[in-house]
Structure 1
Amino acid sequence: MRALMDEVFGEENWISDIILTKTPGLTAEYIASTSDYIIWYSKRKPNLKYRALFTEKGFGGEGSKKYDKAVDSSYLPYALSSEQRSGVQTVPDSIRVFRHGDLTSQRQGRDNSEAGAMSFQYARNGVSFRPARGRGWSTTKTNMDRLLFADRIDITGKNLSYRRFLKDFAAFPKTNIWDDIGGIQSRADPKVYVVQTAVETVKRCLLMATDPGDLVLDPTCGSGTTAYVAEQWGRRWITIDTSRVALALARARIMGAKYPWYILADSPEGQRKEAEVTRASPATHPTYNDIRHGFVYDRVPHITLKSIANNTEIDTIWDNLQPAVEGARAALNAALSGHPAPFEVQTGGRKGVEIDFTATGEVELPSGEMAPANGFMEWEIPRDAPDDWPAAAKDALAQFWEARIARQREIDASIAAKAEFEFLYDKPFEDKKRIRVAGPFTVESLSPHRTQAVNEYGELIDEHDAAQGKRQGATEAENYRAAMLENLSKAGVQQSGRDDAIKFTSLVPWAGDWISAEARYMEGEVERRAGIFIGPEYGTVQRADLVACAREAADAGFDIVIACAFNFDAHTAEFRKLGRLPILQARMNPDLHMAGDLKAGGGNLFVVFGEPDIELREEGGMYRVELRGVDIFKPATGQVVASEPDDIACWFIDTDYNEESFFVRHAYFPGAEVPYKQLQTTLKGEVDQEAWDSLKRTVSRPFARPKSGRIAVKVINHLGDEVMKVMGVL
């Protein structure tokens, strides 16, 4: 496969082979297969759009083994137990896990002057430190103060270390091994197709390579997973399939689902959310709700020593909140002044020394700082008060910790907001008060359509020859016709009603230019002869083909022509009879392309869907279309009768048909008991009944005169069969 793809895209445009793990099949005869592959190529590798996706890092998972310490909800550090580090004991979410990193670096310069400049003395908890010889601090004195304010400097033995939290960068990029996809579908979106791809697989591919507003093409629609995912994530999409069953499943799946409402970056709500996340003033430029600007995404901060050291907002927070901390400390020391019981300090420059609250004056710490002999420094204050402390001291202690925690929480929030970050493209912010449903489908179909006939070598050939099967060699064409006739003989021709199916009593080849076989069936007690026309294996039957076929059948005395083809040109719908000779158009199931492997006679392989009975009328310069039903051929009587509109599942109007593609501009569902019942159930809320009822109608809303001079009406029955009629508008 790689060799083939190299030929198509060029080996220089190969990006990656993604290994997708899966559950092994229970019926494997030999070694079970547990993986699939996604082969990723770019049209031009230098122009590749790539958005990295991340796996969030959790304690006990990949990349967390060196994190052996934590701080509790009061920001007090402690060592994790062996049970916690091994995963035997769960670490609560409120616990922030960290490890120590080096706070010095090697400095080389002339006469080691640079190292000397960065080897200044620095105090932490009343103890002074200097870097080892030949090394210097990783940042300046001012920046070291910010690290100290942020509580990121710890004493480890005789050195200072940098406190690095697991959540400083709690993610790592996804690799090409996807072993966490899980099951195929969720209960909310169950599996409905035999080869349905997991939503998560398609989601990752789309999020890695596209942005909101980009166009995604899936030429093999299937159950519509690509379109479903693209719709959810704000991508435009085109999906294609030859099977009407697949398209019907995809249509129902997409239109019956609800989707999250992600906050647009180009919106007032987006500006406010972005300001909230980044702790900045909201943008004031005009907004236009343009999805191409993307969503407002959650992000994972990429906090580094440098980002903290350069964050000047920490100074402002310290200046604003530190007075409350100092005031509470002073109140605590005042409340304990004269307290008879000494208190042994366990941290800092007076570790292991008792503070005598009855003493007076100051003492000098190892750092050279002066501390009150009868009072606490900030780092010496205990978390809990002894039972014999007076009430005033206990109240002051509570106020101190409240102020200290508030200061630290504000600083941590600033650090996270001001740091560099990585967008989590799979986690846009959602407006929980709103939900979204699929918008209108722009292009419904490119079929029936006109195509130039080509042979097996891609060379243009005459349409007359193509219709006779001469696009292939004589042997291949004969084998194709024989396979089609074998299936037709056993399957017969189906219509919307089971009782109206045409079952042949005999079918034998016919050596005509257009007619391939003579088939016989019973019309009541009378046997009728049908001339069978088989359209080309690849291509579209034109009106001229049917005219020539009908003339040959009339000359041969046939009672009816059954024209079988994969595709009919839109204008063939206008040709239903030549004189007394009726012409039935039987659409061939695309499964017949696999005729060699297909069990003959299986399923609805040849289906007739009659001509829609449509009236176009003008009303005050505007136009309306009324659908009266569909003409159905009754083989038991030989008559064509009109069905009721309720027999039609849905019908669409392209009010300005360009003969190239069908745009759904009006959609109606007369045969549905409750239009969009699945969607109505999904929304789980009150709906405007009048709006629902407006979809269940056989007379269209008014529309203006088409610029092209044509409209097209497409009618679909409950089996998914469709027919289209083109009408000129003067």
Structure 2
Amino acid sequence: MTDKKTPIDPITHDHQRVNIPTPELAPMMDPDDARPIKVAYEQRNPDLDPQLIWRGKDIDQTEITVDAPPIYLQEQVHPKAIIEDLRAGGQRNGQGGGADLFDHFGITDDDREAEIEFYRHHRKWSNRMILGDGLQVMASLAEREGLKGQVQAIYIDPPYGIKFNSNFQWSTTSRDVKDGKLEHLTREPEQVKAFRDTWRDGIHSYLQYLRDRLVVARELLTESGSCFVQIGDENVHRVRALMDEVFGEENFIAPINFQTAPYATSNYLPAVLNTVLWYSKSGSPKYKPLFKEKTDLKSIDLYRQALGPDGATRILLDKEEVSSGPRDKSFRQYRLVSLISQGASSEPQPLQFAGKSYLAQRSSHWKTTVSGMYRAMKALRVQETKASIQFRSYITDFPISITNNIWTDTITGSFNDEKLYVVQTNPEVIKRCLLMTTDPGDLVLDPTCGSGTTAYVAEQWGRRWITIDTSRVALALARARIMGAKYPWYLLKDSETGQKKEAEVTRSAPSTSDTYNDIRHGFVYQRVPHITLKSIANNTEIDTIWEAMQPAVEAALSDLNTALAGHPEPFEVETGGRKGDKIDFTAQGEVELPSGEMAPANGFMEWEVPREAPDGWPDAATEALAAFWEARIARQKEIDASIAAKADHEYLYDKPYEDKKRVRVAGPFTVESLSPHRTQAVNEHGELIDEHDAASGKRGAGEQEAENYRTAILENLAKAGVQQAGREDRIDFTSLSAWPGEWLAAEGRYMEGETERRAGILIGPEYGTLQRADLVAAAREAADAGFDLVIACAFNFDAHTAEFQKLGRITVLQARMNADLHMAGDLKAGGGNLFVVFGEPDIEIVEDGDKLRVRLLGVDIFRPATGEVHSSDPDEIACWFIDTDYDEQSFFVRHAYFPGAEIPYKQLKTTLKAEIDEEAWESLKRTESRAFARPKSGRIAVKVINHLGDEVMKVIGV
């Protein structure tokens, strides 16, 4: 075991978030906070016609009303604490130092006394994973938590088409989802509602679904914010029209087309592209360009010439040499660029170059000033062509090219790891969208979480994130993915190491200012020069260098001409105004060049001097030639260095510098869910919408249908009864009648042996979760009314309800309702038990010296008729968590185990293999925990999650 530990750290954010309740503290909420509201949003500006019309769209309705229920904090996860505990466990050092890390989730110091005052105070920022309808969650974030105008980028990946398998995954263990296959239909109520609401009326429902979410998403964006919608070719044209309506066509930025597969099969033209539509909230979105190396682009073919240090040029004929650069690395690869722009100059701009005169063509002008053009000539940046002169643009001047809106390197598998989810976006696509439009510390939101790719990418690049999904399966996958993620440690600009690196890159003295590791200052990025004609033309230092070093060049040239005077062999000039003419070294006087300049009849001008001495030249001439080129090359090196130093540069925002010796894990995040309460309608001004208004269309059809919900449940309950673990434990009702209670909806009578029993029936929300507080209230009402037990029927139970089995003499059965009851005519499935009692974790506490272990035996299925308990197989458990010091206020994930799923720590295991022994890694797959210290609170909590995303929790006093 190594003594030196690899540093493991997350990036944390010096931001705050509103203090929201946990289920444990929900009973202490102010009634006004707990009361759900409806919020109205203006859906469109009628002046922006034309608009897209679909069946069910009320073109005269100016508002959209959305439920904004409270959001409850279910779990608090700090991946570093889990890894540190694992490392400590591997070294047999007990529980480790994870407990202190969870202080991050606390209320800010200024608000410490306000722990149970919700929405009025703030806590330290932690990223968020929220279970619920994205529309309602976004409305709640905007209206209850004040995030309106706070989100910098929103990435939406809605279903592409109307096939069920394009939307949902039914289990964490399988991505094989076949459309129309009954056993692959999800049974999650939120998912069923999403599917039913989205596809009940085909494309018409889809457009309504997406329009509502875009309207609320726009409200969350900052004025410089961007919204990205990923869509396939099936609906891209409709979504483009829809986004024009919501955001305004003037705020359309670009369609991004990215390749998803190398090939496809089709009866006609194969389609291998998807599209991301990019809109901004205003006309001035935040934008940071991304770049690609030119060697990766077709534009590399333009750089087909090379210039040697002596000024010699040659053509690159070999395609490989064009792509990889000249074989002689002293040559610089370049292309020729026009020096002329459209539009006549106010006065003539004659130029003399290499003994010739040049004038911009009629109705055109030089791209820079005459003095700037001469500086470019001094820098050897000008080359004569057949009819004019052009600018030499070296590939190293700007070795990158800006990324455009066609991405062909995004084929699935090019960048991402193994797919986790049936519909999983390539991380590279989301990465580019976020890097172009956000800075480190900015807030990113994804209302279509899926496998959590947006959250995964945002975490890597130091962005805060909120991700939302209706699927428990999706969040189970995303939670494990984020918990086990390993990221590069990018150097923070606001850090000592970052300051040193910045000084190294810029060749300046390190900053002496204090550092605070504030992510909002960004990372230290790699950068490349951006040399342009303008930067050269404006570089007056070139004149200074020329004046200082030109005398040496001219002196060497004079010595060369003197040494060749009287030489009998003439020399044919290859460049400039005397190209093709021969210099007679025995001649006298001067000759006039085409430019009007005078040149010695028996000597060279600077641009005419050859690199190699011809045979027969005297030794004195050969020595003078060498001195000439030495002086000229020295002058050129100084000019090139000046050009590089004075040039602008571009930051490579996708290439920050890394500290290879450090490991980064995800920062703290929370898992949250919506409240299930009914809502009352309030407009955007907080005013109550009366029932007449609601009937007039300001309330959705879904609420009008809810009146039939209770009747339908009771009818099915009377027919199907309640199924326990075995057939012999089935509860069949002899009668079932309505009951006028506040919590209990019906009275059911059934026989237990020869004795008739009375059961109070509690019906949970149609779309939502039944809370522990609901069970407590129902049990008290049942006791007052003389019932024998309570049967709570719900599609989903909060994890905290699992431990609540009895209140006094009243037994409480939790009967999970089959999602077929949701499906009506949309997703009819075969027969089966409609109401099944679901139990609690079967747990055993094991003493281990002065420490404790938890042994998970399965999940109990309670049989009230016989008093027996049946445990499920541990392989049916996807993961289970322990809060080893449960404070009865919130659940902290201090231990995490994955007995029935892949361990999400593969990359970390490779990095930390020498520091965490194999037994500690193996413990992650077990159903018996590592040892931990006895809790100071005297309680622990165990949460178990199966492959379908169902959660149960049990609190144990130890």
Tell me if the contact between 1:144 and 1:309 (Cα under 8 Å) persists in the aligned partners.
yes
Structure 2 residue aligned with 1:70: 305
SS at match of 1:716: strand
| Deviation of 1:144 (Å) | 3.7
Q: Judging changes above 3 Å, is the alpha-carbon distance between structure 1 residues 36 and 677 closer, same or farther for their aligned structure 2 residues? A: closer
Structure 2 residue aligned with 1:540: 769
Structure 1 residue aligned with 2:660: 433
- Identical amino acids, percent of aligned pairs: 45
1:543-554 correspondence to structure 2 within 5 Å: 543=772, 545-547=774-776
Q: Judging changes above 3 Å, is the alpha-carbon distance between structure 1 residues 274 and 107 closer, same or farther for their aligned structure 2 residues? A: farther
Tell me if the contact between 2:771 and 2:801 (Cα under 8 Å) persists in the aligned partners.
yes
1:267-416 correspondence to structure 2 within 5 Å: 267-271=495-499, 273-274=501-502, 283-299=511-527, 301-315=529-543, 343-348=571-576, 350-352=578-580, 366=593, 368=597, 373=602, 378-384=606-612, 408=636, 411-412=639-640, 414-416=642-644
SS at match of 1:261: coil
Unaligned runs of 5+ in 2: 1-238, 327-331, 691-701
Question: Which of the residues 419, 443, 446 maps onto 2:672?
Answer: 446
1:477-516 correspondence to structure 2 within 5 Å: 477-479=710-712, 502=726, 511-512=736-737, 513=739, 514=744
1:475 aligns with 2:708: yes
| Deviation of 1:98 (Å) | 1.4
SS at match of 1:96: strand
Q: Which amino acid aligns with 1:446?
A: E
Structure 2 residue aligned with 1:565: 794
Q: Which amino acid aligns with 1:430?
A: Y
Structure 1 residue aligned with 2:287: 50
Tell me if the contact between 2:398 and 2:531 (Cα under 8 Å) persists in the aligned partners.
yes
Question: Which of the residues 929, 942, 951 maps onto 1:722?
Answer: 951
Distance 2:834 2:797 in 1: 18
Q: Judging changes above 3 Å, is the alpha-carbon distance between structure 1 residues 305 and 187 closer, same or farther for their aligned structure 2 residues? A: closer
Q: Which amino acid aligns with 1:149?
A: K
Residues 633-674 of structure 1, C-alpha deviations (whole Å, 9 max, x = no match): 465973359999999944243979796xx5646344496999
Residues 269-296 of structure 1, C-alpha deviations (whole Å, 9 max, x = no match): 5445555655666555444332212233
Structure 2 residue aligned with 1:38: 276
Q: Which amino acid aligns with 1:442?
A: F
Q: Which moved more, 1:69-78 or 1:308-317?
A: 69-78
SS at match of 2:440: coil
Q: Which amino acid aligns with 1:437?
A: R
Distance 1:20 1:338 in 2: 69
Question: Which of the residues 84, 89, 93 maps onto 2:325?
Answer: 93
1:266 aligns with 2:503: no
Structure 1 residue aligned with 2:456: 228
1:247 aligns with 2:475: yes
Tell me if the contact between 2:307 and 2:334 (Cα under 8 Å) persists in the aligned partners.
no
Tell me the matched-pair count.
Answer: 677
| Deviation of 1:364 (Å) | 6.0
Q: Judging changes above 3 Å, is the alpha-carbon distance between structure 1 residues 691 and 23 closer, same or farther for their aligned structure 2 residues? A: closer
What RMSD in Å do the two structures reach over aligned CA positions? 5.8
| Deviation of 1:151 (Å) | 0.8
Tell me if the contact between 1:169 and 1:303 (Cα under 8 Å) persists in the aligned partners.
yes
| Deviation of 1:379 (Å) | 3.1
| Deviation of 1:712 (Å) | 8.1
SS at match of 2:860: strand
Distance 1:452 1:223 in 2: 28
SS at match of 2:465: strand
1:180 aligns with 2:417: no
Tell me if the contact between 2:820 and 2:834 (Cα under 8 Å) persists in the aligned partners.
no
Q: Which amino acid aligns with 1:201?
A: V
Distance 2:277 2:381 in 1: 45
1:576 aligns with 2:813: no
| Deviation of 1:202 (Å) | 1.4
Q: Which amino acid aligns with 1:38?
A: V
| Deviation of 1:594 (Å) | 4.9
| Deviation of 1:609 (Å) | 5.0
Tell me if the contact between 1:219 and 1:240 (Cα under 8 Å) persists in the aligned partners.
yes
Q: Judging changes above 3 Å, is the alpha-carbon distance between structure 1 residues 59 and 704 closer, same or farther for their aligned structure 2 residues? A: closer
Structure 1 residue aligned with 2:377: 148
Distance 2:819 2:607 in 1: 79
Unaligned runs of 5+ in 1: 462-468, 494-500, 618-622
Residues 321-341 of structure 1, C-alpha deviations (whole Å, 9 max, x = no match): 778877987898899899886
Tell me if the contact between 2:941 and 2:954 (Cα under 8 Å) persists in the aligned partners.
yes
Tell me if the contact between 2:376 and 2:536 (Cα under 8 Å) persists in the aligned partners.
yes
SS at match of 1:446: strand
Higher Cα Rg: structure 1 or 2?
A: 1
SS at match of 2:539: coil
SS at match of 1:240: strand
SS at match of 1:222: coil
SS at match of 2:424: coil
Residues 368-422 of structure 1, C-alpha deviations (whole Å, 9 max, x = no match): 4666956x65433434555777999889877876775675466445435533454
Q: Which amino acid aligns with 1:610?
A: E
Residues 560-592 of structure 1, C-alpha deviations (whole Å, 9 max, x = no match): 866443444566455312456654446668897
Tell me if the contact between 2:853 and 2:929 (Cα under 8 Å) persists in the aligned partners.
no
Distance 2:453 2:361 in 1: 63
| Deviation of 1:599 (Å) | 3.4
1:217 aligns with 2:438: no
Tell me if the contact between 1:561 and 1:584 (Cα under 8 Å) persists in the aligned partners.
yes
Q: Which moved more, 1:252-261 or 1:133-142?
A: 133-142
Q: Which amino acid aligns with 2:840?
A: G
Structure 1 residue aligned with 2:222: none
| Deviation of 1:487 (Å) | 9.9
Distance 1:680 1:404 in 2: 56
Distance 2:556 2:888 in 1: 80
Distance 1:22 1:395 in 2: 63
Q: Which amino acid aligns with 1:418?
A: K
Distance 2:420 2:779 in 1: 42
SS at match of 1:262: coil
TM-score, normalised with respect to structure 1: 0.71
Tell me if the contact between 1:193 and 1:223 (Cα under 8 Å) persists in the aligned partners.
yes
Distance 1:670 1:103 in 2: 67
Distance 2:662 2:477 in 1: 22
SS at match of 1:162: strand
